[in-house]
Amino acid sequence: MPRRPKPSSERESRPHPAPDAGDTRSRIVDALMALAAERPWEEITISDIARHAGVTLAEFRDHFGSKGAVLRAFARRIDKIVLEGTGDDLAEESAKDRLFDVLMRRLDALAPYKAAIEGMLEWVDSEPLAAVALNRRVVNSMRFMLAAAGIGSEGPVGMLKLQGLVFAWRRILARWLHDDDPGLAPTMAALDRELTRGGRIVARANDLHRLTSPLRSLARAVCRRRSRRFERVRARWRGDDREPDDAAEAVV
DSSP string, 222-252: HHHHHHHHHHHHHHHHTT--S-HHHHHHHH-
Per-residue model confidence (pLDDT) at position 12: 44
Q: Is 115 exposed, middle or buried (0-12, 13-18, 19+ CB in 10 A)?
A: middle
The amino acid that residue 184 corresponds to is L
pTM of the model: 0.73
Give CA torsion, residues 16, 1, 156, 150, to 10 deg.
50
Instruction: Give pLDDT tens digits along the chain (252 positions).
Output: 565 555 444 444 344 544 444 589 999 999 999 999 999 999 999 999 999 999 999 999 999 999 999 999 999 999 999 999 988 887 788 989 999 999 999 999 999 999 999 999 998 888 888 888 888 899 999 999 999 999 888 887 788 888 899 999 999 999 999 999 999 999 999 999 999 998 887 766 554 445 445 544 545 555 566 666 666 666 666 665 554 444 333 333
* Distance (Å, whole) CA 22 – CA 31: 13
Per-residue model confidence (pLDDT) at position 24: 94
Top CATH class, 13-211: mainly alpha
* Distance (Å, whole) CA 187 – CA 180: 10
| Nearest of 29, 20, 71, 19 to residue 50 by alpha carbon | 29
DSSP string, 115-175: HHHHHHHHHHHT-HHHHHHHHHHHHHHHHHHHHHTT----HHHHHHHHHHHHHHHHHHHHH
Running DSSP on this structure, what letter comes out for residue 6?
Answer: S
- Contacts of residue 191, defined as CB under 8 A and 6 or more positions apart, other chains included, come to 100, 103, 104, 172
Q: Is 210 exposed, middle or buried (0-12, 13-18, 19+ CB in 10 A)?
A: exposed
CA distances to 22, 49, 64, 65, 176 from 31, in Å: 13, 6, 13, 15, 23
Contact in structure between 86 and 148 (CB atoms under 8 Å)? yes
Question: Where are the chain's structural domains?
Answer: 13-211, 221-251
